[in-house]
Structure 1
């Protein structure tokens, strides 16, 4: 299904700016853009499935979704709900690519790759991503951009200038590595947006993982699609054994993440009536006599038992041992 989002805009002396954009190749006929988008989505789905399988050893089905046309900012506003935003470029094709991925897919991937959950058992509710989940989303956008670059390299005529770079060709597209910027939780405000509000097309691929389906949307300039007249599908084969790449990268991000710690000390028990009458300045003793035992926790989970001490004027704790038998507590920090 295709739809077109338009914003009223009138040029000097009532001249239609859309007509001018058509004349200079910045805007295409709706049916032409629709046809190019359908061809590109069909070419992307199979290789994208294979890219996910190669990179993470997980099965994600990619199915063609809706196509929308309109100004870039209007498309982002309409499609950017419950999604993470990422800008990217493919040298020799376009420097103005934007993508949106629903948060439910990222949350589910982190739970499965880090905690070993079965995708079929997950019941994910869309929410803002944590810092680790936001880092993880980069891997999804990398797979999309690298797959797109492979297709573009085979689709652009070998000697023709392509995209909105002005001097690239298919050899350039194939040789230079695509660039994926750091994903963002929110779409930039218009005054902070570094990309122009050009005529764009939004191509959605529905990614089915477990029992859920999440939209992955690619937003590209119509001018780029008009210059990419022959879209050829291709299989994606990545060199080397990358089956554990996502899990390893995610574990590395978890290990490097800054986590807030809490130290809890048991106090002497008091009757409820005495507790209700506590006033500022009252003193409560520790439950332990002699060495004070402290439980070190993070994210509400007990990690280590410690001894309370002092170094100079600063109180400190000395780790003495694990707080429990759970050796997989890192999976709770996603």
Structure 2
């Protein structure tokens, strides 16, 4: 990449590298980390069940980067593929280093995961390329997502390349987010670097998607709560009595209700008053008719006046 021709160009490049297209590195990293963390358990499951490779997958880092630097952290020997989407020809660049390829090939073909493996220091063989492509496919499928969160990748992924062909692959530069997954066994640890341009990552509007998901879950939860059952209790107030009068009560005594008791029934659940009601009778059934919602503030004021 050529250097900027002016101080203004240099400043623009520095700001772009620090902040990215969004102008907010935190937003970019947050969106990338959220996507990676959601995908991680599914990646582990697919590698174990679909491929049969007994490797551990960890999220190593998420950071702001450049698309042109997609190969920078993988050494001189790596496998690479670039996946297109509906809005970009380079929506996802995936690079697997030699250690990760060695680990996968070894474990996939029955090697002992407890033992160190010989790291490949040459161009990969067709079989090794096929294994790398298979893992790229699983990662891209999981990271792609579904619905409004989807990156809309064009799958299956292109077959991986290595050696001179990979190094000659031109990457259109621009701000990106770099997601690094570690593939490891007890003896070895390799990496898969996934670089997504910010224009692709932020086109999903993750804040809007997450807000929509939250609203949908809140609505679902509210409906479930509405279906739950509770016990209601209707009570009527007695006249105000002294403790001496209360102490004088005996079994069989009849207690007179106050003049307003029938119109001041309280409907409550779990010790919380909901409505003020009127007690009555309809046919053979006793009833309470709701008069108004219970006002705690007014009830408190009425209590002070009575005292």
| TM-score (normalizing by structure 1) | 0.52
How far is 1:194 from its partner? 4.4
2:112 alignment partner in structure 1 = 118
1:287 alignment partner in structure 2 = none
1:58/1:182 Cα in 2 relative to 1: closer, same or farther (>3 Å)?
closer
Runs (4 or more) in structure 1 with deviation over 6 Å come to 19-22
User: Equivalents in 1 of 2:23, 2:104: separation in Å?
Assistant: 37
Match 1:221 to one of 192, 197, 212: 197
Secondary structure at the aligned position of 2:160 is classed as coil
1:90/1:208 Cα in 2 relative to 1: closer, same or farther (>3 Å)?
farther
- Structure 1 stretches of 5 or more lacking a match? 1-5, 157-169, 233-334
How far is 1:97 from its partner? 1.4
1:184 alignment partner in structure 2 = 161
1:71 alignment partner in structure 2 = 66
Match 2:182 to one of 202, 206, 215: 206
Mapping for residues 59-98 of structure 1, pairs under 5 Å: 59-91=54-86, 95-98=90-93
1:126/1:69 Cα in 2 relative to 1: closer, same or farther (>3 Å)?
farther
1:101 alignment partner in structure 2 = 96
2:265 alignment partner in structure 1 = none
1:57 alignment partner in structure 2 = 52
1:13/1:206 Cα in 2 relative to 1: closer, same or farther (>3 Å)?
closer
Higher share of residues assigned helix:
2
Mark the structure with the bigger radius of gyration.
Answer: 2
Mapping for residues 241-280 of structure 1, pairs under 5 Å: none
Work out whether residues 83 and 92 of structure 2, in 8 Å CA contact, stay in contact via their aligned partners in 1.
yes
- Structure 2 stretches of 5 or more lacking a match? 211-307
Secondary structure at the aligned position of 1:218 is classed as strand
User: Equivalents in 2 of 1:178, 1:123: separation in Å?
Assistant: 31
How far is 1:60 from its partner? 2.4
Secondary structure at the aligned position of 2:46 is classed as helix
Higher relative contact order (CA 8 A, sep 6+): 1
List per-residue Cα deviations over 1:75-121 (Å, max 9, x = no partner). Answer: 4234454422111124467643111112222223323333x222112
User: Equivalents in 2 of 1:38, 1:7: separation in Å?
Assistant: 31
1:207/1:113 Cα in 2 relative to 1: closer, same or farther (>3 Å)?
closer
Paired residue total: 205
User: Equivalents in 1 of 2:108, 2:71: separation in Å?
Assistant: 29
Please give the root-mean-square deviation of Cα atoms over the aligned residues, in Å.
Answer: 3.4
How far is 1:71 from its partner? 2.5
2:35 alignment partner in structure 1 = 40
| TM-score (normalizing by structure 2) | 0.56
2:172 alignment partner in structure 1 = 196
User: Equivalents in 2 of 1:197, 1:41: separation in Å?
Assistant: 22
1:195/1:64 Cα in 2 relative to 1: closer, same or farther (>3 Å)?
same
How far is 1:140 from its partner? 1.0
